[in-house]
Amino acid sequence: MAEFNPVLVKELRGRMRGPSAFMLLTGYLLLLGLVTLLLYTALADSAGSELNAGQRIGKQLFIVIATVALIEVCVITPALTAGSIVGEKERQTYDLLIASLLSPWQIVWGKLAAALAFALLMIVSVVPLMSLAFLFGGVSLAEVLIALVGLLMTALLYATVGLFWSAIMHSTLGATSFALGSIIVMLLGIPFLAAIFTLIFAQGTTPEWTRSALFIYLSGAFVSIHPFIALGLTETLLNAGDSPFFSVFDPQGANITIPSPWLAYVVLAALFSIVLLWFSVRMLRPEPPIAKQARAT
């Protein structure tokens, strides 16, 4: 029987041994549970005897749980991988790995898979909480599945961001700082640029090219790399009765079919992840002939 990747086995052994993994998972679920409880209390009080109160509570519970879970995945997954490769350098085990028969891809994949396995555990543990929304109604299975796929792709993308910085930096602190920093820049930068763009063109006559299909696709892709915007827009479009897979955009009578933002997000996140993984693997190759700085001999 084929064996698992040795790095994956080692990482899982290390991660799941001791109390830290269970404490992290417990804290994560406690926070989600607490938010759910507080939200339910607030919604139940304000709902009164409204006919559709159950559906409204269910929908809002689902959105809040998914959002909090997404925030936690955005923060935790890069932190899981940011120390993975640079940690080997700090523990002075990096050379031993590189000098073994493990390929750089095996090392990177083992590290990523171990982080994703833990992220998957976190995401799966959210499912019972998310399913509470079904008790109230108002949430479709498609919405839940799209949310789970969105969480998974976010975990993949941000884990590779952490891995990339881990392969480049020389300390875990530096790698974690840069990983979280770049994610914050991305999460805040995209809405900021979108808002600036909107403000500029909202003041005068909108140029013709902003209604072209190319611009619509490009701007759609730009905002769809943001998980909160992509998944939030998807939810809005689903509520408006659109298909879970595509929408028809009609700026000036010309019907333009665009993929649902969550689909665009999945594709873009996968592409970015592949590029970041490729760079990470490149960084793990033996030192090239022209080293940038002198090493103590």
Partner 1 sequence: MTLIVEMRDLTHRYGATLALDHLNVQIPEGAIFGFIGPNGAGKTTTMRILTTLLVPTGGDARVGGFSVLTAPRDVRRLVGFMPDFFGVYDNMKVWEYLDFFGHAYSIPAPRRAGLISDLLELVDLDHKRDDFVMDLSRGMKQRLSLARTMIHDPRLLILDEPASNLDPRARIELRELLKELRALGKTIMISSHILTELAEMCTHIAIIERGRLLAAGDVQTILRSLQPHRTLELRVLTAAERVEPLLRAQPDVLDVRFAVADALAAVPVPSDDQEAAASDEFAAPMPGLAGAAATLSADDEAPAQPTTFLVDYAGDERGMGALLTLLVANGVGISRFAEQSSGLEDIFMQVTKGIVQ
Footprint of partner 1 on this chain (CB under 8 A)?
3, 6-7, 9-10, 13-14, 17-18, 88, 91-102, 286-297
Which H/E stretch holds residue 110?
A: helix 104-136
Shortest Cβ 6–partner 1 spacing (Å)? 4
| Contact status, residue 157 vs residue 195, Cβ threshold 8 Å | no
Over the Cα atoms of the chain, what is R_g?
Answer: 22
- Rounded Cα–Cα distance for residues 21 and 18 (Å): 7
Closer residue to partner 1, CB minimum distance, 93 or 131: 93
- Rounded Cα–Cα distance for residues 262 and 74 (Å): 16
Closer residue to partner 1, CB minimum distance, 255 or 295: 295
Shortest Cβ 94–partner 1 spacing (Å)? 8
- Residue 176: C-alpha distances to residues 4, 15, 189, 239 (Å): 27, 17, 19, 38
Closer residue to partner 1, CB minimum distance, 56 or 89: 89
Shortest Cβ 288–partner 1 spacing (Å)? 6
Closer residue to partner 1, CB minimum distance, 204 or 288: 288
Q: Is 128 exposed, middle or buried (0-12, 13-18, 19+ CB in 10 A)?
A: exposed
Shortest Cβ 13–partner 1 spacing (Å)? 7
Tokens of 224: 């769809």
Closer residue to partner 1, CB minimum distance, 17 or 199: 17
Shortest Cβ 103–partner 1 spacing (Å)? 9
Closer residue to partner 1, CB minimum distance, 65 or 175: 175
CA-based nearest residue to 159, from 71, 270, 106, 81: 81
* Secondary structure (3-state) at 275: helix
3-state secondary structure 205-273: CCCHHHHCHHHHHHHHHHHHCCHHHHHHHHHHHHHCCCCCCEEEECCCCCCEEEECHHHHHHHHHHHHH
Shortest Cβ 96–partner 1 spacing (Å)? 6
| Contact status, residue 149 vs residue 261, Cβ threshold 8 Å | no
Shortest Cβ 224–partner 1 spacing (Å)? 40
Shortest Cβ 292–partner 1 spacing (Å)? 7
| Contact status, residue 117 vs residue 12, Cβ threshold 8 Å | yes
Closer residue to partner 1, CB minimum distance, 51 or 290: 290
* Secondary structure (3-state) at 144: helix
Closer residue to partner 1, CB minimum distance, 89 or 211: 89
